[in-house]
Each structure stands twice: as C-alpha cells, then as structure tokens.
Chains A and B, each alone.
Chain A
Amino acid sequence: MKAGDELPALEIPVTRTLIVAGAVASRDYQDVHHDTEAARAKGAPDIFMNILTTNGLVGRYVTDHFGPAARLRAVRIRLGAPNYPGDTMVLTGTVTALGPDGTAEVRIVGANGLGHHVTGTVTVSVQEQDS
C-alpha cells in the first residue's frame, strides 16, 4: 500500500429502510429521519439520512477494504447534499498518507445524485495490535 492508492468504489442504495434503520440503530429519533411530512415542514423535500448513519457507512467502507485486523482511529466527516430516498451514494477513497505507527489516512468522498453527500478523512491502523 502506498499514498495515492484508490479504494474500490462502494455503491450504497439510499432506501427509506436504510435511512430509518440507521436512525433507529443510532438512537436518533429526530423526525426528519423517519417522518416525511415533518421533514417537508422543515424545508426538506423528504426524509434524509442522519449523520450517524453516514459516519457508520464511511467506517464500514474503510474497514471492509483493510480487513479484520484494521481498527478505526479517527473518522472526520462533513455533510453536504442530503441523502434522500431513491438516490444512490457512491463512496470512493484515496490513501493520502501512511503513518510510521502503522496507520493509513484515507480521504473519503460519498457522492449522490445531488453532489457530494459526505467528504472526510479516516485514520485507520492497518497492522495487528496487541490490545
């Protein structure tokens, strides 16, 4: 592995079920993540994915790639265009740096039909550890 390596893209169909399941699994009961009418009243066209689900998907994307020994050390994300039902988010990643402590830094972009849903950086340790 070296800086510049690209991770294979991962397509995530943004279903209503994923949005609601992710919100409930993260114990986020904000109505905009499960109640379409409430979301519309707040200026959104539909329910949309919560940030905790996006965070979980970004983490999964990186650990899926680096395998069972990989451990997430940091996940830093910023949201842009919302993930609405019916869209598809395509996650892509690029290794931007390798640390002397066996960590890799991966730049992440999750693009949907509206633009960039998420951009961010994940730090993952890719070597076996004792703990």
Chain B
Amino acid sequence: MSADRVTGADPADLYAVLKGFEGRPAAVAGVGKDPVNEPMIRHWCEAMGDTGAAYRGPGAIAPPTMLQAWTMGGLSGHTGRSQAYDELLALLDGAGYTSVVATDCEQEYERDLRPGDRITFDAVIESVSARKTTTLGTGYFVTTRTDVRAQGEPAGTHRFRILKYAPAARRGGDDRAKRPRPVVNRDNAGFWDGVAEHKLLIQRCAGCGTLRFPWLPGCGRCGAQEWDPVEVSGAGTVFSYVVMHRPVFPAFDPPYAVALIELAEGVRMVGNVVGVPYGEVRIGMPVRAEFVRVDGEWELPVFRPADGGRGGRG
C-alpha cells in the first residue's frame, strides 16, 4: 500500500510490475567485444592520466577499474543483454522515464586482467527502487550485478545503479516557469491586499488586543472573531532559517535562504532573505521587509539585512 503512495502519479501497479523484475537476468552469456588488449589499456591510461607502472610494458595488467569497460557494447550496442532488462527499460521509457544516469558503481576484483584475456559475463537485476524525485527529475533506481569472467575464471563483480528518470523542466529563458501564486481566501485577503500596496498588515484582536500572524478568523487567545488590521514597521530579526538546495522546483533558483523573521511587533513571518549571500544569513541578523514584484504580476514580501548583512554575526 505504501507503493501506491510512493509512485504518486504513476499507475498504481507500475511499481509492482517493476519490482517483479528483481532477480531476473539482465545479461546472459555476454561476451566482451574485444579481449583485454594493450591499445584499450593505453587509451584508458591516457584519458585518466594514469602512469601506473603496472599497466605498462611486459607483464602489464589492465587497470582493474576498466572492469566494466570490457563489457560495454559501444556504438554497436550490447550483446547478451536479456529480454527482461530490455523490457524493464522499455516499461520505464513508456512511462516517461526516458533518460538515464549512473549513480553508483561497486566493483570487486578477484583476478588480474591481462592482454589476451577473453571476457564473458552474466548480470542480474538486483533491485528496483520506489519512485524518487532528484535534481535531474523523477524516476526509478535500477541496480544490476554483473559477474565478469576472464578465460572462464571469475575475474570480478560489478554492481551498478542507474536512475531512469523523466527530465525536469529546463530552467531559464522565456519558457521559465512562473512561481506558485499565494492562495488568497476571505480569511487572509486583507494581508494580500496590504502587500499589493506595500504594507505589511497583521491582525489585532478587538477583544483582548493580542497581535497575531498569520491571518486567522478568530483570536487564539480569547476566541473573539472581531479584529483590526495593524501595519507593522517591517523591522525584525532572523529567528531561524534554512538554505534551500533541493529538490529544485521550477521558477526557483537554489540555493537560497528562507527565514522565520521575528518582527519588532512580536509576531513571526516566513520570507526569503535577499541582498546577502545565502551562506551569510545568521540567526539574530536584523532585517527589514521590502517588496518584490513576481512574474510581473503580483507582490511578495521579502527581507533584506538592515545593515548590509554585517549584524548578528560573530
């Protein structure tokens, strides 16, 4: 049942179908397109800047980290890839998860590989994750384990994890997504009306005089439903903050700091901190409210360090 929640927009049974591939072969009786050979070793070492003596001259071995390279299909495609693995990738492609990126590689080396060694391999689909949202996009992690042999002898194992994902929308340019708009209702309309006029309004209970924010229909202290709007000065201090890195939502450009501001009047308000690098925001930093125009359509209160960002530190 948790699978339904995790897979979200996907058909409820997709995750179950994907899980069904666990334990099935990913490659059967695969054969390396080239035997281990000196030119490929040399090209690898040149690219990596690896001048290791073990990889040169008579008695040279291949760099062990080349293990996967000997099994690669190259431009002409994979040999020995199983029907099950192709089906799994096709299912993910069909569901919109068309891109792929590798995330983990775990290799164990049991035997040196030397020029002339003929490579064969078998692979199994070890696991398929629940749907995950990453910086690149949303998708599924697929883990395979490949057992590699040289001249028929065990040479090493290679565990590989990929993310099959649906690319997140590109950022920047004219197609830039708009920010989510505030939800305005009869309980908070007064606040947003104030913001539109560059006024920061909070409520004062007509019964007991308690100031409150965010806007609510009744007083949390005495329960009275009558209130008056009060304009605050906009001065306050950073009570707490976070720096937002991920996930990356369209229209936002992380990293950026979001703070809980304690206003001089005593209520607290959440807002972005601007005009100072996100890494220099500090608890206790004095700030002042200002207003930014968003998407050319509406106003949003933000907070800027009152003294150029030098306060509250040390």
Contacts and interface: CB of A to CB of B under 8 A. Distances in A.
- Main secondary structure on chain B at its contact with chain A? mixed
A73 B111 CA distance: 9
B48 A28 contact: no
How many interface residues does chain B have, given as a range? 35 or more
Interface stretch (B60-68, B88-96, B208-216): B60-68
B128 to A, nearest CB: 18
Contact of B170 (A40, A50, A53): A40
Interface string A49-70: 0111101111110011000100
Contact of A55 (B75, B105, B112, B168): B105
A22 B75 CA distance: 15
How many interface residues does chain A have, given as a range? 35 or more
A53 B100 CA distance: 17
A74 B108 contact: yes
Contacts, number: 120
A21 interface: yes
B69 A42 contact: no
A71 B106 CA distance: 16
A27 B108 contact: no
Contact of A26 (B49, B69, B101, B137): B69
B270 to A, nearest CB: 26
Given A18-B47, A56-B66, A59-B65, A73 B112 contact: no
Nearest to B112: A131
Contacts of B233: none
B274 interface: no
Contact of A78 (B40, B43, B53, B103): B103
B63 A75 contact: no
A60 B48 contact: yes
A52 B47 CA distance: 11
B168 A68 contact: no
A131 B112 CA distance: 8
Interface string B64-108: 111011001111000000000000000000000001111111111
Those 3 A-B pairs whose CB atoms lie nearest each other, nearest first: A43-B167, A27-B72, A59-B65
12 contacts: A25-B48, A51-B103, A55-B105, A56-B63, A60-B52, A64-B52, A71-B64, A74-B107, A75-B105, A76-B107, A77-B105, A79-B104
Interface of B: 40, 43-44, 46-54, 63-66, 68-69, 72-75, 99-109, 112, 136-137, 167-170
